Structures are given as C-alpha cells and as structure tokens.
C-alpha cells in the first residue's frame, strides 16, 4: 500500500523514518511492529484498478485483515485513496500527526514501547501478529506459552519489585 498523496514531501519521508524508529526501538531487539503513524494530510490506497492492474505484494489480502473486508473492498475496487482520518478510524494507522511532527510522535511511541518489559513486548507481539491467521485454540496455546516465558524470566521479579518499591523497573530482557 502506498501513500496516495500527490504532494508528498519530506514530511512523508519523516513518516517512513518514524515507522523505522518504531520498528527498531533500541531496547526492543529490533522486532517490527504493526504500529503506524500517519500525517493528517496523507491518504493510503491501492490505485492499481485505475490502471488495469491487480495490486501485488499482498495488499489484496493484507488490507482486508487490517481494516475489514467492506472498507478494503471499497478501497481496492474503486482505487480511491483512504484519507488519513478515515485510516485512523479504521485502525490502519494508530496515531495521526501534523506535517513535521511524525518523528517526534514516533519517538514518543517508541519511548512508551521501550519502557515496557522487553520480553512481554516480544511475546505479546508474536500473539497479536499471529491473530491474523491462527485459530483461537492455537492463539490460546501461544498466549499460555508466552505467559510461561515471561513468568520464568528474571524480569518478572524486577517488575514486581519495582512496582512494590514504586520505582521504574530496570529491564534486562531475560
């Protein structure tokens, strides 16, 4: 899916850079996330049908997973872009920013993610990403395995101790 904004400038490059910041926060061992920050003036879409093409690279099945079949079908079959506010309402982007503010917003989000326990972030992310294609039984098993992993970690004790002592935890990621 590409930005359909014909007036793209450095702010759009900032959005891509911001997505990279979120995909690779320093304390979270570089897992990509599904979090996206969009500029308020951006639009997103698959315009291929307007040129007698079929959208490739997975857009035809990823967009319905992200925003639901009805909204995706409309966007795909008309080739019309989805404005940023609608993309936000549909859950395609998690935050909207003014032009020039995407990097600062991405850093705020990355700071929030990296303040959380890394193992819990990694394990939670695995289950959330699998929710797009796994059945509930598998997801329950994955959740239970994730819980076992974090419960057996050194960070569990640190999190509980930090909570009791009313201080910020010092995560080790193990």
β-pair type (82-83, 43-45): antiparallel
Q: Distance between CA atoms of 121 and 56, rounded to whole angstroms?
A: 31
Q: Are residues 101 and 16 in the same domain?
A: yes
CB 86 within 8 A of CB 45: no
CATH number, domain containing residue 107: 3.90.226.20
Q: Distance between CA atoms of 137 and 143, rounded to whole angstroms?
A: 10
Q: Are residues 122 and 109 in the same domain?
A: no
pLDDT of residue 52: 93
Q: Does residue 99 sit within a domain? A: yes
Q: Are residues 128 and 67 in the same domain?
A: no
Q: Are residues 98 and 61 in the same domain?
A: yes
Q: Does residue 174 sit within a domain? A: no
Q: Does residue 18 sit within a domain? A: yes
**pTM for the model:** 0.67
Q: Does residue 101 sit within a domain? A: yes
Domain that holds residue 105: 2-115
Q: Are residues 127 and 96 in the same domain?
A: no
Q: Are residues 111 and 133 in the same domain?
A: no
Residues 46, 51, 54: CA angle, nearest 5 degrees = 55
Instruction: From first to last of the 174 residues of the chain, give the pLDDT tens digit.
Output: 544 443 443 344 333 333 333 333 333 333 344 567 888 888 898 999 999 999 988 899 989 988 999 999 999 999 999 999 999 999 999 999 999 999 999 999 999 999 999 999 999 999 999 998 899 999 999 999 999 999 999 999 999 999 999 999 999 999
Q: Does residue 16 sit within a domain? A: yes
pLDDT of residue 149: 96
Q: Are residues 97 and 153 in the same domain?
A: no
Q: Are residues 32 and 76 in the same domain?
A: yes
Q: Distance between CA atoms of 133 and 65, rounded to whole angstroms?
A: 9
Q: Does residue 30 sit within a domain? A: yes
CATH number, domain containing residue 131: 1.10.12
pLDDT of residue 39: 82
Q: Are residues 144 and 107 in the same domain?
A: no
Q: Are residues 110 and 125 in the same domain?
A: no
Give the count of domains, the chain.
2
Question: pLDDT of 116-166, one tens digit each?
Answer: 999 999 999 999 999 988 999 999 999 999 999 999 999 999 999 999 999
3-class secondary-structure state, position 96? strand
């Amino acid at each position: 899916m590409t930005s359909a904004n014909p007036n793209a400038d450095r702010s759009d490059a900032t959005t891509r850079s911001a997505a990279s910041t979120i995909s690779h926060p320093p304390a979270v061992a570089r897992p990509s996330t599904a979090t996206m920050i969009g500029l308020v003036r951006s639009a997103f879409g698959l315009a291929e049908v307007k040129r007698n093409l079929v959208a490739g690279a997975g857009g035809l099945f990823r967009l319905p997973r992200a925003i639901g079949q009805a909204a995706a079908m409309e966007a795909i079959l008309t080739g019309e872009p989805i404005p940023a506010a609608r993309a936000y309402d549909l859950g395609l982007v998690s935050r909207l920013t003014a032009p020039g503010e995407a990097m600062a917003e991405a850093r705020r989000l990355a700071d929030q993610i990296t303040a959380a326990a890394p193992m819990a972030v990694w394990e939670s992310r695995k289950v959330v990403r699998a929710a797009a294609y796994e059945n509930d039984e598998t997801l329950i098993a994955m959740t239970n395995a994730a819980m076992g992993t974090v419960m057996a970690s050194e960070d569990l004790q640190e999190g509980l101790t930090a909570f009791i002592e009313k201080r910020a935890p010092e995560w080790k990621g193990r």
